[in-house]
Amino acid sequence: MSMCKTTVAPSADGSLNLTSTFLRKNQCETRAMQLQPTERPGRYNYHSPHWGSIHSMSVVETNYDEYAVLYTQGIQGPHQDFRMASLYSRTKTLKDKLKEDFAAFCKSQGFTEDSIVFLPEPADKCINEPE
């Protein structure tokens, strides 16, 4: 596992297109999802084609210029709860304070210390190519 490159772009219908590119089996792979806004600002739903379920994604915190913290929850498979906290940054290097605050948020959501991971930067073209 290593960092991926993710872009978020608004759609004409008010949804957001979230596209991630990452290295998998020595190939750049891209996955896209369309986030549908809910009645609550900063909260989106998306359909997981793999699991056939709806996941809820919330923007927990952002300063728009530097980072965003997202929290996702849903069901994967028969009766398997899915929860994930993600830290998206506009740079590959994170400030220590940001990492500490993110880890504290994760712990407040019940994640254990060993489940909080900061992915290394890959030495591959998938995220290092200019747009």
Judge whether 4 counts as a catalytic residue: yes
Question: DSSP for 12-61?
Answer: TTS-EEEEEEEEETTEEEEEEEEEEE-SSTTEEEEEETTTTEEEEEEEEE
Q: Which of 4, 28, 106, 126 is catalytic?
A: 4
Measured distance CA(67)–CA(90) in Å, rounded = 6
- Provide long-range contacts, Cβ within 8 A and 24+ apart, for 96-105: 98/66, 98/67, 102/69, 105/60, 105/61, 105/69
Nearest to 34 by CA among 51, 19, 22, 53: 19
Residues labelled as active-site residues: 4
